[in-house]
Amino acid sequence: MAMQASSWILLVVLLNTPVGNGQSVQMDTEVSGFVGSTVELNCLFINSKPPVKISQVTWQKSFNGTKQNVAIANPALGVSVLPAFKDRVTFKHLAMPQENPSLEDTTIVFSNLRLLDEAAYICEYTTFPAGNRENMVNLTVYARPMTHMTLTTPIIIARAQKHKMTVATCLSANGKPPSVIKWDTKLKGQATFQETHNPNGTVTIRSNYVIVPSRESHRQKLTCIVTYNSEHFSDSVILNVQYEPEVKIDGFDGNWYLNRQDVKLTCDADANPAVTGYHWKLLNGSLPRNVEIRNNTLFFRGPVTNDFSGTYICDATNSIGTRSGLVEVNVTEKPLAQGPPGGVLGILGAVVVFGLIVGVMVTICMMYNHGQKSRTEADNNLTEMPPMHKPVPPPPKKNNDVKGGLISDDIQVVLLDKDEMLKLSLHPPYNDMVLSESLKPSFAHKDCDVQYAVLDTAALVSSPRRSVHSCGDLVEYATIQPSSH
């Protein structure tokens, strides 16, 4: 950095050395500093053709067409700084009382710079017999701006009538040269900019960020980036926007059939500040007698009756306002045939069934690999248990302190041929509610589908085992029993 600066200065010196009769004055072309800082204004007398006698050196400030003396150095009389600059200007190499000072280098040190110091400074050598030689440096004084961002108000209120408002202001005051202000945010607003030129040459930039406050703008980050010269300053705020409740009613799944138990409606409100009160009502009527209101929930006690039908309205109130949610409840005679609506539960059920099928198939493979003798052993351990999800009445459990879920060891596979099948009293094949008609297991199926049924193990025990035959002739059953270890 320092080396760069010196080589730059050297270059400048070469450019800024007027040559005349072997004598010249070397100076920088431009020097700059911040308000309050110290700069050096170099001035060297280059004399390639001695003897030339320096009679006097004068530093002058040239501004707006007028010149003003700053300092004078005289070989006989010494150096003198004029009163206007007395406190802030000194010769770098010359002391006040000095006998026969060398005036080759009359560099001055300018401290505590002010904006008004910005001017051209002339260093003039009066010589004998060569005459006057002079050069000039432009001094630029910069002022660092005061930068800050403010929230217009700590709490912004989103009103129903959507008015624009300034939410934050970014200010870069009294900078020279002027700053550039930018905003960084996901908010959908606009920035306004205002530039004020001060008499002392500084510029104040003010930018307002304007939005229509809304629920979406709550907790959004707003960043102001100020660029001054090549420096960046940034400051962020998080908006705190208050808004009316945004209400929706949860709980009605479209399947409120007669005699269904424990239905409820919940008033789901997003609000800032939090909702202070909920009010439930039924359009065209009064709420059924057996409802119980707890906070934001409407509990319906007892079975569903036709009285539950109607349009329910929930009013949620906070300090900003009141908004309503609405749900139309429709009581049906019978549960929906299609199972739970929304498909999510249906898909879940299908996934469970598919997983079960895969599990059973894997187990079948394992059983084949383990050979016949282990199968016999397993068969003796068969314990009847209802398969999961199955709405058949459970037979008495042998083991009541069963804990945890089923593991693959719990699944026992019994292979039966058709004749054997007919002799056994079997429950109807297990069919999950979600399975459609086409997915239902069927005895007539030709390929090696896995089917599920509850086996009466008593019958099995008395029944002879058969080995596996070809695919079409066999029906395969799995019973699932919980782990006893």
Ligand X SMILES: *[C@@H]1O[C@H](CO)[C@@H](O)[C@H](O)[C@H]1NC(C)=O
> Given CA atoms 208, 210, 213, 214 in this order, what sign does their dihedral have?
negative
Q: How many residues bind ligand X (CB under 6 A)?
A: 17
Rounded to an integer, what distance in angstroms lies between the CA atom of residue 229 and that of residue 237? 24
- CB nearer to ligand X: give 171 or 453: 171
Q: Which of 9, 46, 115, 388 binds ligand X (CB under 6 A)?
A: 115
Q: Tell the smallest beta-carbon distance from residue 341 to ligand X (Å).
A: 11
Q: Is 147 in the site for ligand X (CB under 6 A)?
A: no
Q: Is 295 in the site for ligand X (CB under 6 A)?
A: yes
Q: Which of 107, 200, 324, 483 binds ligand X (CB under 6 A)?
A: 200
> Cβ distance 89 to 106 under 8 Å?
no
Q: Is 222 in the site for ligand X (CB under 6 A)?
A: no
Residue with tokens 């539950």: 308
Q: Is 198 in the site for ligand X (CB under 6 A)?
A: yes
DSSP annotation of 387: P
Q: Tell the smallest beta-carbon distance from residue 437 to ligand X (Å).
A: 23
- CB nearer to ligand X: give 293 or 433: 293
Q: Is 120 in the site for ligand X (CB under 6 A)?
A: yes
Beginning with the edge strand found earlier in the chain, give each strand of the sheet holding 221-228 in spatial order: 180-185, 221-228, 231-238
CA distances from 177 to 32, 34, 88, 140, 198 (A): 12, 11, 24, 10, 12
Q: Is 35 in the site for ligand X (CB under 6 A)?
A: yes
Binding mask 312-341 for ligand X (x = CB under 6 A): ----------------x-x-----------
Q: Tell the smallest beta-carbon distance from residue 322 to ligand X (Å).
A: 19
Residue 31, both tokens: 């020097």
Q: Tell the smallest beta-carbon distance from residue 309 to ligand X (Å).
A: 7
Rounded to an integer, what distance in angstroms lies between the CA atom of residue 62 and that of residue 64? 7
> For 285-294, which contacts have Cβ atoms below 8 Å and span 24 or more sequence positions?
285/310
CB proximity list for 4: less than 8 A, separation 6 or greater = none
Q: Tell the smallest beta-carbon distance from residue 21 to ligand X (Å).
A: 23
Q: Tell the smallest beta-carbon distance from residue 30 to ligand X (Å).
A: 5
- CB nearer to ligand X: give 64 or 425: 64
DSSP secondary structure string for all residues of 45-112: EEESS---EEEEEEEEEEETTEEEEEEEEETTTEEEE-GGGTTTEEESS--SS-SS---SB--EEE-S
Q: Within positions 406 to 445, which residues make up the interface with ligand X, using CB under 6 A?
A: none
H-helix or E-strand spanning residue 451: strand 451-452
Binding mask 46-65 for ligand X (x = CB under 6 A): ------------------xx
Residues forming the site for ligand X (CB under 6 A): 29-30, 35, 64-65, 115, 120, 138, 143, 174, 198, 200, 202, 284, 295, 328, 330
